[in-house]
Structure 1
Amino acid sequence: MTETISHTVGLKDLPRLVGTALGTSDPIRITQHQIDQFADATNDRQWIHVDPERAKQGPFGTTIAHGFLTLSLAPSLFWQLLDVTGSDQVINCGIGRARFTAPVPVESHVRLAAEITAVEPCKGGYQLTAALTFLVEGSERPACIADMIIRYLGDISV
């Protein structure tokens, strides 16, 4: 699968993106191996995530991804949607809010939709806020909604 960037913009032009929907990323398949690795890394080995046999009898009929696993995909999927040229450094400042609104069953395909909601000057560049929506194929509800905050630093006078 090729990763295509839907928007390329120069650092100084970031403020013009406020209100822009960036489109959706390529889908990524969520595997049991990914879920197990995330469980090992975070010590969150709840059966609904890591025990396929028990999960068959659970509320979703299969294992589901951790909400934070889904959220952790934000940077890599977001980079497919926006490329900022002229930035010397990009800093992921975190999440402003996040809600896990639907499960992500194992073997699901997840895509990210993003909209730029704010761009504010900060020391050395701009701070961007993007409203993220994680979409799961076959689900009517998004798996997660969140605001991601990123700083793009560089010479904005150019």
Structure 2
Amino acid sequence: MSITISSLQELEQYEGQELGVSAYHTITQDQITRFAAATLDHQWIHLDAERAKTESPFGGTIAHGYLTVSLLPYLWTQIVQIQNLKMQVNYEIESLRFNQAVLVDSAVRLRAKLLSVKDLRGIAKARIEVTLEVQDAKKPAYTGVITFLYHFV
């Protein structure tokens, strides 16, 4: 169940709190292949299933790290619905650390905590601690802090 936030003041009420966890999203080979085409990143570890079975330490293809990062907005909106916006801007990614590879057909979900909210003359600067969890894995795919700017109406 997602949280609905309609103003800077409402957002500030969640400062320092874990906001929730998204649903799981399964990363398929088709999604990996389409991401490779879009980014021109055609490394065999992502695309060549036969070679990955025999030559990679993972036993199969893996998702691009940046593919998993690109899922942030999609998974974030499952946790928090921000309403009454003129615009949302992806502002910053800081201290992002990839902890483990995400194997093809793995399910991932986002866990988010609102670290801080700053009022920049009516624009909300929200720093969010993010963890991309991999189903049935001990370590997350990545951890880090992202910042969104919310221009409320």
- TM-score bracket, normalised by the shorter chain, equals over 0.9
Amino acid of the residue matched to residue 118 of structure 2?
Answer: E
Structure 1 alignment gaps of length 5 or more: none
What is the rounded CA distance, in whole Å, between the counterparts of 1:20 and 1:28 in structure 2? 24
Structure 2 alignment gaps of length 5 or more: none
RMSD of Structure 2 on Structure 1 (CA): 1.3
Amino acid of the residue matched to residue 35 of structure 1?
Answer: I
Q: Which consecutive segments of 4 or more residues in structure 1 shift more than 3 A?
A: none
TM-score (norm 1): 0.90
What is the rounded CA distance, in whole Å, between the counterparts of 2:34 and 2:83 in structure 1? 34
| Aligned residue runs from structure 1 range 49-64, under 5 A | 49-57=46-54, 58-64=56-62
For residue 80 of structure 1, the aligned residue among 68, 72, 78 is 78
What is the rounded CA distance, in whole Å, between the counterparts of 1:99 and 1:82 in structure 2? 23
| Aligned residue runs from structure 1 range 29-44, under 5 A | 29-44=26-41
2:105 is paired with a residue whose SS is coil
1:22 is the counterpart of 2:19: yes
Quote the offset at 1:56 in angstroms: 0.3
Amino acid of the residue matched to residue 53 of structure 1?
Answer: E
1:9 is the counterpart of 2:2: no
1:38 is paired with a residue whose SS is helix
Quote the offset at 1:86 in angstroms: 2.8
Q: How many residues align?
A: 151
TM-score (norm 2): 0.93
What is the rounded CA distance, in whole Å, between the counterparts of 2:6 and 2:95 in structure 1? 27
Identity %: 38
